[in-house]
Amino acid sequence: MAPAAATARRVPAKSEVLGLFRSLLRTARQFTDYNIREYTKRRTVDGFRMNRTLSDPDAIASAFSDGTAQLEVAKRQVIIYSLYAPKVKSIMDVKP
Amino acid sequence: MASKLLASAASTLRRTLTEKNATYHLFRRLSTSSAAADPSPSAADSYEDADGITMKGVKISGRPLYLDMQATSPVDPRVLDAMLPYNLSRYGNPHSRTHLYGWESENAVETARSQVAALIGASPKEIVFTSGATESNNISVKGVMHFYRDKKRHVITTQTEHKCVLDSCRHLQQEGFDVTYLPVGTDGIIDLEMLRSAIRPDTGLVSVMAVNNEIGVIQPLEEIGKICKEFNVPFHTDAAQALGKIPIEVDKWNVSLMSLSGHKIYGPKGVGALYMRRRPRIRVEPQMNGGGQERGIRSGTVPTPLVVGFGAACELAMKEMEYDDKRISQLQERMLNGLRERLDGVIVNGSVERRYAGNLNVSFAYVEGESLLMGLKEVAVSSGSACTSASLEPSYVLRALGVDEDMAHTSIRFGIGRFTTEAEIDRAVQLTVQQVEKLREMSPLYEMVKEGINIKDIQWAQH
């Protein structure tokens, strides 16, 4: 608990924020499931856009640690989804 | 008549298709020795490879796009992520008091309890985990009436409730209780004055669902709660379709009991909860007797992974409610506009204003719903509740609204959710329009309407 609180207080550099954004998008693209993939991409973009105006250092730090935790979840879930991916893709992924 | 013809044609088609498939499966079973490797050996007529799926005689090149969120929703990956540890090494029984396995499971269950409570503005002590909203509804309706059976002999509910409430009421009637089934208006909303006059001195429970599962209308719960408070009658609401979608405050609604479900809010199936007010205290007779878990109201080991998933889903719903709602409203508008632009005779069932946006129940005039569903194999939708989708009877909810028999047969429920995309909506609109146009082209009724004949004036000959 204590180390997490310590990192939460540190304000991330702009490059770190951009790095997190890119990693989230990269991970999102790897989801085998059409809906989850599109949602993760959309939610990432919208989440960063919503928090663009944050100025309070504490709020920025907590948003960043939130995003980092989400990235970990996404990385794990990409693997699980790929393990149990149905043989047939979504109709939305099938080229007409 | 046209619809009957279509239905019979469809059933013959289905029969031939399944027969063909049965022989196919027989071949397969003979040729493969490793039946255990088949992921679904019991599904007699399903077959899946990279080119497509064949199931129930229908061949599709991809998995259908999912627009049936009222039946169930996909599990959110964040929910699954929270659940998995409790399916792996953390398998303890949350009621084990003597070791770490039990303690960590108990902690997880209690965290989940507070996550559920937070979403509805309750205290964690007022949450009882159950197997789902059906069980919660049964405990609420039958449990309350059984507990207060000496003084209270009357229940008030509505005609558009979920089957499990109606069936519980039916059960009570057999035991000699009185039940009033309140009618609803054409918009699906109950009349508050009618409710007020239906309350008797021996009324033991008022049960009105929050968001209707078939037509998505939202009942005026705050006002109902006020009336119940005035007469000092316990108020139960089935909020399975409302949880995480509209803001819920148990104190604002003045509910004594509330049924919640996990799998409608991107959580796991097989878990739900019952909210039971502590002050003033409401008491129920348990349906399940045993080890006395969940304060004796619902005995049986609490399923830690499911409960953890339900808790995570509630926490997510709280965070995402605003975002999801905005998006779902946009998608609903996109869908309705798309359909209305290209088709005439598109009627929304139930109130348009007092409605949860994720539920779009529409009727396409002169088109038989089941035939439309059969044609829309690339879109996973239903004509109404999943519980009754096996029968060709028109929905009792739509009939309660006073929808004409012919229109009740034409309804389709589109369920939009967190993971629905714009592209899916556009595709669904395109496919629906195509199918409706095709069916109308064949329909003699539609032709007659185009020629200006009023269908209601036709005298049908009896055979």
- B33-75 pLDDT, tens digit each: 444 444 554 555 677 777 788 887 778 889 999 999 999 999 9
Q: What is the pLDDT of residue B19?
A: 46
Q: Decide if B62 and A92 are in contact by the 8 Å CB cutoff.
A: yes
Q: Tell me, what CATH number does B264's domain have?
A: 3.40.640.10
pLDDT at B233 over 60: yes
Q: Which residues of A touch B427 (CB under 8 A)?
A: 91-92
- Do B204 and B221 fall within a single domain? yes
Q: Choose the mutation target among B79, B330, B419, B431 for the interface with A, i.e. most A CBs under 10 Å.
A: B419
- The boundaries of the domain holding residue B134 are 77-316
pTM of the shown model: 0.88
pLDDT at B28 over 50: no
- Do B332 and B440 fall within a single domain? yes
Q: Decide if B61 and A91 are in contact by the 8 Å CB cutoff.
A: yes
- Do B309 and B368 fall within a single domain? no
pLDDT at B458 over 90: no
Minimal Cα distance from A76: which residue of B? Answer: B81
Q: What is the pLDDT of residue A2?
A: 44
Mean pLDDT of the B277-301 span? 94
Rg (CA), chain B: 24
B323 CA to chain A: closest CA distance, Å?
Answer: 9
- Do B244 and B101 fall within a single domain? yes
- Do B107 and B244 fall within a single domain? yes
Q: Choose the mutation target among B46, B58, B63, B319 for the interface with A, i.e. most A CBs under 10 Å.
A: B63
Q: Could you tell me which of B369, B454, B357 has the C-alpha nearest to residue B409?
A: B369
Mean pLDDT of the A5-20 span? 80
pLDDT at B23 over 50: no
Q: Closest to B62 (Cβ–Cβ): which among A43, A80, A93?
A: A93
- Do B171 and B147 fall within a single domain? yes
- Do B106 and B253 fall within a single domain? yes
B174 by DSSP, 3-state: which? Answer: helix
Structure-model confidence comparison of residues B406 and B187, the more confident one: B187
Q: Which residues of B touch A76 (CB under 8 A)?
A: 81
Q: What is the pLDDT of residue B385?
A: 66
Q: Decide if B81 and A88 are in contact by the 8 Å CB cutoff.
A: no
- Do B375 and B282 fall within a single domain? no
Give A96's pLDDT tier (boundaries 50, 70, 90): low
- Do B222 and B345 fall within a single domain? no
Angle at A13 between CA A10 and CA A15, to 5 degrees: 145
A 58-77 → B contacts, CB under 8 A = 70, 73-74, 76-77
- Do B250 and B303 fall within a single domain? yes
Interface residue A91 vs chain B (CB under 8 A): yes
Q: Could you tell me which of B456, B381, B442, B343 has the C-alpha nearest to residue B64?
A: B381
B169 catalytic? Reply is: no
Q: Which of B279, B296, B316 is the last residue of a domain?
A: B316
Number of cross-chain residue pairs from A and B with Cβ atoms under 8 Å apart: 69
Domain count, chain B: 2
Residue B267 within any structural domain of the chain = yes
Q: What is the pLDDT of residue B219?
A: 97
- Do B145 and B209 fall within a single domain? yes
Mean pLDDT: which of B27-41, B52-66, B114-128, B446-460 is highest?
A: B114-128
Give Cβ neighbours of residue A69 (< 8 Å, ≥ 6 apart): none
Distance CA A36, CA B268 (A): 16
| B343-362 pLDDT tens trace | 999 999 999 999 999 999 99
Structure-model confidence comparison of residues B23 and B338, the more confident one: B338
Residue B18 within any structural domain of the chain = no
Q: Which of B288, B316, B344 is the last residue of a domain?
A: B316
Give B457's pLDDT tier (boundaries 50, 70, 90): confident
Q: Which residues of A touch B49 (CB under 8 A)?
A: 87-88
Look up residue B338 and give its amino acid: G
pLDDT at B21 over 70: no
What is the per-residue burial (b if ≥16 Cβ within 10 Å, else e) of B85-95?
Answer: ebeeebebebe
| A24-75 pLDDT tens trace | 999 999 999 999 999 999 999 999 999 999 999 999 999 999 999 999 999 9
pLDDT-wise least confident of A44-53, B6-15, B138-147, B154-163: B6-15
